Amino acid sequence: MPFGISHDIILTLARWSLHGFFRDIKLVGQENVPKEGPLIVCSTHSNMIVDAAVLAVTFPHKRKLHFWAKDSIFANKYFQAILKDSGVVPVDRTTKNNQLLFSATVDVLRLGEVVAVFPEGTSHSESRLLRLRDGASWAALAYAKRVRSEQINGISPDEDEDDTNKLREKKVEPKYSHLPLMMVPVGITYVQKSKYRSLVIVSHGPPIDVEPYFNDFERDDRTTVKLLTRQIEEEMEKLTINAKDWETLNAANMARLLLFSDDKDVAPEDYVKITQSLVNFFTTTEEASSLKTNLHQYKTTLDSLNLNNIDIARYETRELTTHWALYTFVTEACKSLIQLPFFLPGLMFHWPIYILGKLSARYEIYEENKAQNKIILGLAWLVLAYLFLFFVIWIAMLFTPLGLILAGGFVFIFAWYHIALVDSHYDTFKDVLSSYCIFTALISGKGSDAREKVESLVSMRRTCFRNLARIGEEYREKSDDLRYVFEYRKRGLGGGKGAAYLQRNGYTPNTNGTTTSGNPLQIMEASTSSSSAVLGAQQPLAPPLLSSTQSQLQQQQARAGDSQIYKATYSGVPVWEMRCKNVAVMRRKSDGWLNATQILKVAEFDKPHRTRILEREVQKGEHEKVQGGYGKYQGTWVPHKTGVSLAEKYNVKELLAPIFDYDPSALASPPLAPKHITAASSKPRKPRENLSIDTDIETNTNEGEAISRRQSEHNGRPQKIIKTVSATARQYGEQMLKFFTARSSIPIPEFLTHPPADFDPNVKIDQQEHTALHWSAATGKNQIARILIQSGAEISPGNIRGETPLMRSVVFPYCYDSQGFHELLNLLRDSLLHHDYSNQTVLHHVVNYAGTKGRDRPAKYYMENLLNQLAAQQSEEYRSYFVNLQNNKGDTALNIAARNANKKLVKLLLDAGGDPQIRNLENKNAEDYILEHEAEAARLREIELQKQKSTHTGILESSASTVRPNARNRLIPSANAILQDFQECYEARLLGKKKELIAVQSDLQAVKWNIEVANNSLEETKTITDKLPELKEQETELGRLVKEKLDSRYAERIQISYESELKNKNVNPSVDSTNLAELREKVNAAEKNYQMSIGTVLNTMMASETKLAKYKRLIENCSGIDSQKFLDKIGVVLENLPEQ
């Protein structure tokens, strides 16, 4: 799909706008973007149309981007031309056929071009990445399916021959089909996305190859799409800052500003890592909660006064007094006045932009719209202002070509001068405003709110910085995330060398919210699974001066990992296990088979390469593919000999020799695989995997006690020494399920109140993949829920449908019966904003639960508590966004409540910000459902009224026939007469109203018909009137042609007459001149007479036409017959007329 001039114009305007609004846009990882071949870009979406502009302007290698748009906006032919010229790709959302849905996208990819997608689905202002939708994955795999089918058959199975011919007509040749389709994740990070002259960081992740997913896609398309989407989401999370709430994110940002003073001290490529490391620390360290609260409060107070951290930092060394504030304000004002003559021309142009931006931000609710509005208003103003300046200069130069060149050059130089002046003086201008704000706050008098806030800011900053330094010294050796930040600050690595230096020295912070360490000098490496590891306390950093022999030995140990062999049982299968390069490598006890996937992980192949090797080399021979069950046990299992050959081929045989050569008969029984112990947090960690211990070998009691004791000492809290329990996780699950489903009250199982070392509170205990927390929440057992959470249970695990425990709690009445939902909500409040696989929030589940009769009260109770909790936690704009979130069918919670006719829930959701105008996939909104219910209720009332009327008449007739005559004579006549009169009166009034209605409707129809006739006549008259000028021109032209024809004929006749007269008579050559003069006069007189005759003939013809038209109208008015038909039959009429 070619790009036209519209794309170049829009891209130029976007480049100018972004250059004028943001101070700088930094690119990170642009080398990850392929220079050619089909490509799908998956980008974050937190700033409306600004995201698309940033992506298009800064995309590496000058590759142009096609963006998705709904095909409905292509309806207008003019707008369609602009969109297609700009490279926008239509997406037909009404079809369920993925090949048709993404047909235009596939065509673009076949040309080797780039399609940009925002897989979050909507722009937002959340503190983390939204759950991605599957559209990008479907498009990628649909393209792979099309290319694969064309390579094999020459035609796609989902398109017919006509579609193929259309593609050939469009000349869409798959010239890049030999190149694999890649998907590049992109994270756009705005330091302050709605603030003028702020920084933008665009990070490009490593490309994802779609080819390894294609074979699985043909077998199970939906599961494969979910897996690909999950990998995209994981890669995008690494490129962005993700926090569970805004309090944590605000605290991390303020901690970064306190440590580095200014964002300029942090290199753009390290900005995300530094901030995410601080987010991880505040998330995982319970002791830092008070510091997090103080930092959040400090930032909130700064924002309320429009100040920043640097404004308060200048008052650290001096006491904050009115005199010092006045001195600061006067100093900054004098600096600005000195620079004002240079800044004044640009200020005249920039001041309206500043005012317009302030006004738009004041009246805009959503944060993600503010930057967009500011940029659009600023661009509109600058275009008008610069055009005005250009024409003023050109007019002054008298519209000369030289003036045109000078005007254009001056405007270009002035625009550059304007932006340069803003960059150089904007900070000074902000300093003047901030010093003025502080000064006015201090002179406002004691007790004023502004003065108290300003005075508290200085002390808050000192307290936060002191506590941050104290916690940093205390936890920097325990938390890898915090150690990374402080090491970065200590070494001053803000010049772009920070990440590389720290990674070379072993500081590798995790980006997914957990703390891991990649330090090669540590004995135990952190792992994302609960697989085997060497027990022992985490060692501090090695001293800088080590002998070369010691250093080499430690590096060899780090590379080789732990050669210790352990025993464990996963999914009921006993295995031998060892760790190498932080990978658990297994060998089955029963047959000695090895896990080829784990061997390739040790060889450091990424997932696409592993998949390709397994398909092309391993799975062609004898193998067993394990996809379900225990996570770490999954993979492709191969015979022992095949596994050894694979390891030898990829140079990891020596590293894995201990597990390959292990002989269980020659050695003593190996120890059990211990659970991993994290040294970074005193909070109990949740187990990540379901580890089952062998039951065929007796457990070493002393060893179990040692494990518990080490864990107690490591966590810093004394715990009861518990012996290692030999029961499997399945047994625990069965006992918990039996406890929750028991009809009578039974005691709480002991392993819940005193969890053993091998107890996993996150184990799935039923076929729907519910955890114990799901069951405790659903059954209203808040005490059990609290115990499980204290034992490390996740508060937001998803079942088979992605439903959290909070969602399951609102679809049962038990929390309502016990009135304990508020307490449960406090325990699970961090999962309030989650949604399931159908994109349904807990509000959707409440209104769905209320759809059954008899559940109104529990649903109203749940909804009130949820909305109150939501109002206490979130901002108004996000609360409105969450309440109006649509599920996969496009329904909001308000839509479902309206469809179920639940007035109480509708009122609650409307009060909480629900939008009744949002339409679902059936093109219906809440108002439509409410109107349908009202119409149905009115119809039912009418039917009921008719039934009552007929029933009442029947009762009267029956009573009249059965009552005894004497009673009827005494009682019935009067009552019957009254009712009869009432009925007759009612029927008469109803009949009169019906007649009036019929008459009004008849009049209305007549009026409509008259209006229609008048409109038709008006259209015909307008058509005739439009043709009058053309007819007049034709009339004039025809008159001229007739005149010319007659003149020609007259001249010919004269010539013929003259020649014949010369032949018949003898011409006397001696005719005198007098006779010739007389003849000329006669000829001239004859010509004049001829001209008058022609005019008379023409006028007569025109008059006859006019009279004929009048006669035609007279015939039509008198006879009602069309005049043309009458003229066609005029001969018959004349024959039948009597002769005069």
> Is the pLDDT higher at 540 or at 181?
181
Give the tens place of pLDDT for each residue, 198-248: 899 999 999 999 988 888 888 888 888 989 999 999 999 999 999 988 889
Q: If one looks up domain 701-932 in CATH, what number appears?
A: 1.25.40.20
pLDDT in tens, 930-967: 888 878 877 877 777 777 666 555 544 544 444 444 44
Q: Which two tokens stand for residue 1096?
A: 């008379």
- pLDDT of res. 559: 41
CB 99 within 8 A of CB 148: no
Per-residue model confidence (pLDDT) at position 678: 31
pLDDT band at 638 (very low <50, low <70, confident <90, very high): very high
pLDDT, one tens digit per residue, over 777-832 is 888 888 888 888 887 788 878 888 888 999 989 989 889 888 888 888 888 888 88
pLDDT of residue 58: 94
Q: What is the mean pLDDT of residues 523-544?
A: 29
Given a cut of 90, whether residue 594 has pLDDT beyond it is: yes
Whether 991 shows a pLDDT value over 80: the answer reads no
Given a cut of 50, whether residue 504 has pLDDT beyond it is: no
pLDDT for 55 beyond 80: yes
Q: Is the pLDDT of residue 183 over 90?
A: yes
Range(s) within the chain of domains with CATH label 3.40.1130? 5-240
How far apart, in whole angstroms, are the C-alpha atoms of residue 418 and residue 402? 24
pLDDT tens digits for range 359-402: 776 766 667 777 788 888 777 777 888 888 888 888 888 888 88
CATH fit for domain 532-539+555-695, picks 3.30.1540.10, 1.10.150.120, 3.10.260.10, 3.40.50.2000: 3.10.260.10
Q: Do 54 and 15 touch, CB atoms closer than 8 A? A: no
pLDDT at res. 1: 58
Q: Return the HEC string of 640-660.
A: HHHHHHHHHHCCCCCCCHHHH
Domain with CATH 1.25.40.20 in the chain: 701-932
Tell me the C-alpha distance between 674 and 665, whole Å: 22
Q: What is the pLDDT of residue 582?
A: 77
Instruction: Give the chain's mean pLDDT.
Output: 74
pLDDT at 1083: 75
Would the pLDDT of 1092 be above 80?
no
At residue 484, does pLDDT exceed 60?
A: yes
N-term to C-term CA, the chain:
83
The Cβ of residue 1084 has, within 10 Å, a number of other Cβ atoms equal to 10
**Across the strands, what pairs with 28?**
203
Range with the poorest average pLDDT among 151-160, 276-285, 306-315, 403-412: 151-160
Is residue 568 predicted with pLDDT exceeding 50?
yes
pLDDT digits (tens, 9 = 90+) for 76-103: 777 788 888 888 888 776 555 555 567 8
* Tokens coding 1098: 């023409």
Which residues are within 8 A (CB) of 922 and not within 5 positions of it... i.e. 6 or more apart?
889, 890
Q: What string of DSSP letters covers 380-406?
A: HHHHHHHHHHHHHHHHHTTT-HHHHHH
Q: Which residue ranges does the chain devote to CATH 3.10.260.10?
A: 532-539+555-695
- 876 half-sphere exposure, CB direction, 13 A CA radius: 5
Confidence band, pLDDT 50/70/90 cuts, at residue 57: very high
Residues with Cβ within 8 Å of residue 691, at least 6 apart in sequence:
530, 568, 569, 570, 673, 675, 729, 758, 760
pLDDT score recorded for residue 305: 84
**551 band by pLDDT with thresholds 50, 70 and 90:** very low
Give the range with max mean pLDDT: 910-914, 1024-1028, 1047-1051: 910-914
Distance CA 1083, CA 1072 (A): 17
* pLDDT tens per residue across span 241-251: 999 888 899 99
Choose among 518, 512, 527: nearest CA to 483. 518
Compute, in degrees rounded to 10, the torsion defined by CA atoms 652, 656, 657, 660.
-120
Tokens of 94: 């009404």
Residue 624: in which H helix or E strand, if any? strand 624-626
Q: Do 286 and 683 touch, CB atoms closer than 8 A? A: yes
User: What is the fold of 5-240?
Assistant: Glycerol-3-phosphate (1)-acyltransferase (3.40.1130)
Task: Say which range, 431-445, 490-504, 898-912, has the weakest mean pLDDT.
Answer: 490-504
pLDDT > 70: percent of the chain = 71
Q: Which residue in this structure is represented by tokens 């399951």? A: 808
Find the angle CA(412)-CA(417)-CA(420) to the nearest 5 degrees. Answer: 130
